[in-house]
Structure 1
Amino acid sequence: MKLILRLAMVLALAAAGVVPAEAPALADDGRYTAEIRRTEYGIPHVSARDYGGLGFGYGYAFAQDNLCVLASWVVTLRGERSRHFGPQAQSDDPAGPVANLVSDVYYKSVADSGVVARLLAQPAPVGPGQELRGLVDGYVAGYNRYLEETGVANLPDPTCRGKSWVGPITATDLWNNLLDLNRMSSGARFKEEIVGESAAEGPRRRIAAGSNAWALGRAATRDGGGMLLADPHFPWNGIRRFYQVQLTIPGVLDVSGGSLYGTPVVQIGHNATMAWTHTVSHAQRFTLYRLDLVAGDPTSYRVDGGTEPMGRQEVQVTLRDGTVAGRTLYTSRYGPVLAAGRTGEVAYALADANAANLRAADEWLAMARAKDLTQLRAAQDRYQGMAFVHTLATDVGGSASFADASVVPHVTDAQAERCAKPSPVPGLEEYVLDGSTSACLWGRDGDAVVPGIFGPAAQPRLTRADYVANSNNTFWMTNPAAPLTGYARVWGKARTEPGPRPRVSLDMIARRLSGADGLGAPGFTLETLQATSASKRNHTFELMRRDLLALCRTSTELATASGERVDVRAACATLRDWDGRATLDGEGAILWREFFTRLGRPTRPGDPVYSPWRVPFDPERPLSTPRGLKRDDPVVRQALAEAVFSFQSRGIPLTLTPGQAQRYSAIPIPGCTEGEGCFDRVRMRGPLGADGRYPEVDTGSSFMMAVDLTRGGPRTRTILTYSLSANPESPHHTDQTALFSRGGWVTERFTEAEIAADPQLKKITVSGARD
């Protein structure tokens, strides 16, 4: 009876438009219960009466599709890969694989540090809220329930069927996954440097940025509501894939979108009145501190004239043959001490702003409940947990918002200059600070949820009635009509070259708003939003085409660096006839790529990167410079000769198309690469082969979502480019990939009526005991 009364109360409050910022979880009857409904392409719609049940249904549904991926990642998080797969094999980290032994030492050191336990002992917002704890516990129970019912020997995915490393997971595994996600562009990038396996390379600065995002306001849309385009560029394999899901607790939560594997919340999505997405930010997530070591004692360092001993952590990893490998790691008041750059006199410590950040998942959950941008901003200000991303959002009222509401170390420009020390890594000079004085510790804002980071008042933000956009450029050109400036350099730099992909993104919006793109009357509709985002434009070709064709008119034969004479007439004809779009049948798209990528390659190690632009970048004209091609420069002419020779010498047709050269699971993939200035970005880890093919696509548009927030409810189109299931034997392993290949989208089913109307609808109810 109490459960019924509480449910009635929550439903009544929801009907009145009153939903608490953190709606209380409903009382339970000792069991998790959830309904899983699957619509076209296997997309799950999970509903339950409380957060624990919702997590249970989600964990069960996810395990049905992708248990093997999470099972492997749990082995990683526990530091047990060397035991099962050998110490030298590569780990399963899709963002930066390392040797299993390195991975194991790193993750065991994180687990042994006790950081997760300390965070779980704290109340929200520093520690997780009760709703999120319920989701995590339920998710684990649902995953384990599916595994128990199915049995390891009978798993549908041959990747892990019958494997000894598959077993139940724990809530600690999921919390560790959430922590590792937040460290992805900071501490987790330093595994080798912390462990000491490749100290000579020096620390990596950041992951390769990817993603496009548009939030359109009432002045940019035909019907005056808000619209959103989400186009994250995350890995196509492994734990950083998106899973498409709808999560519903009647009257409390109803959110649909993309959720990263092993997380119980939606990261990019929408509800009935609000939609949001993310792109990777240029802001700094860490600093290095240079430690002055004590003479004769390399495990002590000086601070404020005194001496501090380093902390010592002994880590042991079991290998495949049963033996144990040990490593000694050191820590400082700033964070782990790196092996990289260490001498007898100095060492470097990593200070990571996300080292103890579990707040992002609570923030995503609160954003999913937000009814408008005001409530979304309140969620951001409360939790301050976005680890490395911008947030772009819009609501049914037609406002569009941008914020770099991410976790950024509190380092002012003055402090960065005053505390600067030599760096072990070129390009990181601004953020190597003096560790010998507490005056160089990170500062604190009064509105910051934890010490050492900038608070909300310091964040770059912009709200507009027309649009905000980002394609991994800095905050500066969020909207060219209102450039953002005046922020500390640690957020990224203003008045710097946006890059070809951000430029083509802004040009696509401008042409749609003026009607100059050939798609009809000015302004966005859901249909023109889809068409614009899938235009496959190659912006560097557009900016250089005139000069390239002028070069071709005066040159029929060019020479390579080794002196081969190359007839370029057929190649020039191919490029002349190409429309500049990286469609499946774009003859000339691959030839252009092979030519353009040669333009920036240094001829000898240590040589500066060559700029082929005829008109250099001018910060006063950021959207029209750089442009043109140095058509008379010997470097340009040689690059064209070598590109053509590489085709001719291997018998590859000059008309090679993306559909012939790019594949994922044997399906042709359109699009072009980051450097070419392509909104439709793809990446392959390796050069064009003698067979006219690149290695498999491993990164690019991943979960694309176009949302029109109307007064009658959201109209949404989605495409999960690599499909819902990593299981090669699943019917949903490549079904959306084939749809993406031919330019299709999925019409989302969000309302009860839309879900019920699916002729392919399948329903199950799952339940299990609560611990």
Structure 2
Amino acid sequence: MRETGELTKRHRRLLSGRSAVLGAVLCLASATMALLPAPASAAATTVAEGGHTVRISRTEYGVPHILAQDFDGLGYGYGYAFAQDNVCELADQVVTLRGERSRFFGPDGDSGTGANLASDTYYGGQLRAGTVRRLLDKKAPLGPTTELRRMVEGYAAGYNRYLRDTGVDRLPDARCKGKPWVRPITALDLWNVVYDVNRATGTVPLAPDIGDAQPPTTSAASTPTTTASGNGLVGLGLASADVGSNGWALGRDATRTGNAMVLANPHLPWADGNFRFYQVQLTIPGTLDVSGAGLYGTPLVEIGHNRTLAWTHTASDAQHGSFYALKLVPGDPTSYLLDGRAVPMERRTVPVAVRGADGRLSTVERTLYTSRFGPVLSSGWTTTTAYAIRDANADNLRSLNTWLAMGKARTLGQLRAAQDTFQGVPWTYTLAADTSGATYFTDSSAVPHLTDGQLKRCTVTAEGAPAALDGSTSACAWGSDPDALVPGLYGPSHQPKSVRTDYVANSNNGPQYVNPEAPITGLPDVYDTDPHLDGRAQLGLAMIAQRLDGTDGLGAPGFTEATLRASMLGNRVRSAETGRDDIVAMCRAHPSLTATDGTEVDVTQACTTLARWDTRADTTSRGIALWSTFYNRLLDGGPPDTWRRVPYDPAQPLTTPRGFNGDDLRVRHALADAVQEFAARDLPVDVELGAVQKWAGIPLPGCDAGCFDVVEAGPDSGTGTPTAGAFGSSFLMTVELTPDGPRAHTLLTYGESANPTSPHFSDQTRLFSRKQWVTERFTGAEIAAAPGLEVTTLRR
């Protein structure tokens, strides 16, 4: 999951259906299985209506382990447990995806992706188009498997059971207690959540732009415009989705024990319910036993492990959609030319219920415009040109099929077969290992079938607009592969793959250097949009190399699970390791520097602070806060070019560019500006990182200036203060696949619950602050032995 440059500049971003969604589900056959008995010391709760049981066992830090005898029950237990912790978040997601934010919150509120009215227009249009219903009508592999349909229906029923038994007016979270928008959900709502996640790096970030799209008048200027939501024509891709990650799979040749290991470290927004992880174990004896985490509202483990296999994901650098520039028919801005013929845009009227300032509801009719290449955007729509977005995941409801099959897989070969069969991974790389000691990397995500020749001859540019493909000719449309389930995409035969016994690693760089000993080359350009490695990717590869030769200070060569954890939370800062001395030399030679506004700034104390700094981003480090401010000001000033001491050299991709040219005025301005900013904020330049980077008052390690452990937060993050969000390391997992079973440690940095009054809102944040981990409990005996075990038995 990926940052642009060193860190993302972010703008983030269910309809009635099967009303009889297992209203009285979960008739579980009593002769089938005896569920694990609760230990005598466990705190036990039984929620009974007769019938048979699903068990939720909560171990340390509230992690739920769901045990059931079929997929209906597994979903039911998962939905109930999730509602206990995060009922408000899913209720809020459902309001958005039903296109009802204006009904409850007014048209001008912020949906998270833009103004409510634009959001409701977009999502209301999705529902009226029936896209998800159409995909649900398909048989597997294009549509969901029977097991998944049952699990999703069970999840909705479990969530609704919690809501019914607790009562909206008695919910424990004040943010949605007693609110009219907290209502029962349907299976269709959950499938809409899944569909939205799948398009998170394509259409979804542009939802307000699509919802606001209206044709210009004939007198409008023929220049690109931006929408009132302010998104404008953003670059399509991961930067707009605010995702990033580090992932390693270490094989038998890289570990001291000869056992394979996996490191998971996704970077996502902490306060965004759409992209928060929930940790869980899902068990049906003899059928499924998988532990890890999944995004809110998606009822499966998406990053995790079973007994013999572990995997993680990082955001793919491939394209997952395309902008198309439409050449409009003169005098008619709602028709475009395709192969010399005029084609009218499709129009869809969307009624949106809007609550006025007086509380009364009215209906506003809005219109969505669609071309052959996808929905039309407001930004850039002039009397001569319009832009459309084609999303490679527009027909993807296959992702849950893929993740369930991966969770059942026992070997890398079975994992690969799962991905090749369902082709549902939407926008991530996969890094995995199994008990054979082998590792695997692939980009099996949905990638447009565009040849290098097409990209060269079809790409058009205009001032103020993104690079787009020529929409006036069908020669620029996506092709297809014979082995692709969905037309328009590359199939498994073209996807990059690597099997190794040493390691594969990725930090959102392209596939080429997942292992520099065996570069992956010859890929279509759409798979590797920029082969250059940024500082975080270079640091990750350097950390592995130094662990393998034992030069990182962590002991004898080779990984153990303990040194894997220590590497993850070592809080190294590559930009400082390769350039701090350059800046110290500069400021010692020039103790007074000129700021951008012309002010002379004394940088003597700043220089001393940086010279004493250990180049780490621990909570107690003094110097990293100043360095991060300096470095990000420098990045904001434009491309490196002259300010790099050693420029990029394609012959040295792992170590260049690096350092700082102290003679460059931008470098000097950036340091002076940083010192000036600290003075304006009344902060000492040697302030500890933990004093200015917090979540709910808890000091956070990590940084946004070339850190492996990416964290960006302010002093008020996690306190409910508007705009004081946080971003970065979210679900951390290290797992060693031993012959006796998995040995894993985890950290869910923001805890299992988004409810600020929950004991699990920030309990794991305190661990993260202290570089401590949670020892995972995987077997039944390990779960039963957990101190303070709490067991809820759901009887249906």
Contact between 2:74 and 2:283, CA under 8 Å: does it hold in 1?
yes
Give 1:670 deviation, angstroms.
Answer: 1.0
SS in 2 for 1:338: coil
Return closer, same or farther for 1:6/1:390 CA change in 2, 3 Å cut-off.
farther
% of aligned pairs identical? Answer: 53
2:493 equivalent among 453, 457, 467 = 457
Structure 1 residue 71 displacement after superposition: 0.4
1:15 corresponds to:
none
2-side partners of 1:564 and 1:304: how far apart? 59
Residues 33-52 of structure 1 aligned to structure 2 (within 5 Å):
33-52=53-72
Q: For the structure 1 residues 358 and 423, does the alpha-carbon distance in structure 2 shift closer, same or farther, using more than 3 Å as the test? A: farther
Amino acid at match of 1:143: Y
**Residue 524 of structure 2: aligned partner:** 488
Can you list the C-alpha shifts for 1:537-584, whole angstroms capped at 9, x where unaligned? Answer: 111011112222222332222222344333222211111111000101
Alignment partner, residue 654 of structure 1: 685
Change (3 A) 1:694 1:183: closer
Matches of 1:30 and 1:422, distance apart in 2: 65
1:288 paired with 2:337, answer: no
Which of these residues, 196, 216, 223, is aligned with residue 180 of structure 1? Answer: 196
Relative to structure 2, which stretch is displaced further, 645-654 or 163-172?
645-654
Q: SS of the residue aligned with 2:238?
A: coil
1:602-613 alignment to 2 at 5 Å? 602=637, 612-613=643-644
> Which of 247, 257, 275 matches 1:213?
247
Taking the aligned partners of 1:441 and 1:636, their CA distance within structure 2 comes to 44
* Alpha-carbon distance, 1:6 to partner: 10
Stretches of structure 1 that go unaligned for 5 or more consecutive residues are 9-28
- State the distance in 2 between where 1:556 and 1:307 align: 66
Matches within 5 A, 1:376-391: 376-391=415-430
2:172 alignment partner in structure 1: 156
Amino acid at match of 2:458: C
Give the superposed CA RMSD.
2.3
Secondary structure at the residue paired with 2:314? strand
Q: What secondary structure does 2:387 align onto? A: strand
> Are 2:403 and 1:401 aligned?
no
TM-score (norm 1): 0.91
1:392-431 matched pairs, under 5 angstroms: 392-423=431-462, 426=465, 428-429=466-467
**In the alignment, is residue 743 of structure 1 matched against residue 771 of structure 2?**
yes
CA shift for structure 1 position 5: 12
- Displacement of 1:4: 7.2
2: CA distance between counterparts of 1:421 and 1:644? 43
Partner of 1:635: 666
What residue number does 1:263 align with? 298
The alpha carbon displacement at 1:640 in A equals 1.9
- Correspondence 1:464-503 to 2 at 5 A: 464-493=500-529, 496-503=531-538
- SS of the aligned residue for 1:546 comes to helix
Structure 1 residue aligned with 2:105? 85
Residue 565 of structure 2, aligned match among 509, 530, 536: 530
Structure 2 CA distance for aligned equivalents of residues 280 and 136 of structure 1: 25
2: CA distance between counterparts of 1:484 and 1:648? 48
Q: Residue 6 of structure 2 corresponds to which residue in structure 1?
A: none
SS at match of 1:348: strand
Q: Report the counterpart of residue 608 of structure 2 in structure 1.
A: 573
One-letter code of the match for 1:503? Q
Q: Tell me by how many angstroms 1:653 deviates.
A: 0.8
C-alpha displacement at 1:283, in angstroms?
0.7
Shift of 1:156: 1.0
1:8-87 equivalences in 2 (<5 Å): 33-87=53-107
AA aligned opposite 1:61: A
Alpha-carbon distance in 1 for matches of 2:777, 2:323: 48
3-state SS of 1:232 partner: strand
Judging changes above 3 Å, is the alpha-carbon distance between structure 1 residues 103 and 717 closer, same or farther for their aligned structure 2 residues? same
Aligned length: 729
Q: Which runs of 5+ in 2 are unaligned?
A: 1-26, 34-48, 214-225
How far 1:731 sits from its partner (Å)? 1.4
Query: Is the Cα contact below 8 Å between 1:341 and 1:424 reproduced in 2?
Result: no
Task: Tell me if structure 1 keeps the 8 A contact 2:755–2:761.
Answer: yes
* 1:438 correspondence with 2:474: yes
Contact 1:662 1:694 in 2 (8 A): no
The aligned amino acid for 1:683 is: E
Tell me how far apart the structure 2 counterparts of residues 342 and 553 of structure 1 sit (CA, whole Å). Answer: 53
- Preserved CA contact (<8 Å) 1:574 1:588: yes
Distance 1:305 1:31, change over 3 A: farther
Farther off after superposition, 747-756 or 197-206: 197-206
Q: Take 1:47 and 1:519, find their aligned partners in 2: how far apart are those partners?
A: 39
Q: 8 Å contact 1:600–1:610 — kept in the other structure?
A: no
- Per-residue deviation, 1:3: 8.6
After superposition, the Cα gap between the structure-2 partners of 1:477 and 1:424, relative to the gap in structure 1 and judged at 3 Å, is: same
Aligned twin of 1:273: 308
Distance change (3 Å), C-alpha of 1:325 and 1:651: same
Amino acid at match of 2:162: Y
User: Would the aligned equivalents of 1:85 and 1:320 in 2 still touch at CA under 8 Å?
Assistant: yes
Pairing 1:308-387 to 2, within 5 Å after superposition: 308-321=343-356, 322-387=361-426
Structure 1 window deviating more from structure 2 (728-737 vs 406-415): it is 728-737
Partner of 2:736: 708
Cα separation, 2, equivalents of 1:66 and 1:697 = 18
Separation of aligned partners in 1, 2:81 and 2:561? 30
Q: Secondary structure at the match of 2:90?
A: helix
Give yes or no for the alignment of 1:699 onto 2:727. Answer: yes
Q: Which residue of 1 aligns with 2:619?
A: 584
Tell me the residue number matched to 2:4. Answer: none
Cα deviations by residue, 1:522-550 (Å, 9 ceiling, x for unpaired): 01101000001100011101111222222
What CA distance in whole angstroms lies between the structure 2 residues aligned with 1:288 and 1:547?
A: 42
Deviation (angstroms), 1:312: 1.0
Q: Secondary structure, in 3 states, of the residue corresponding to 2:742?
A: strand
- TM-score scaled by structure 2? 0.88
Which letter maps to 2:278? Answer: Y
How far apart in 2 are the matches of 1:694 and 1:634? 36
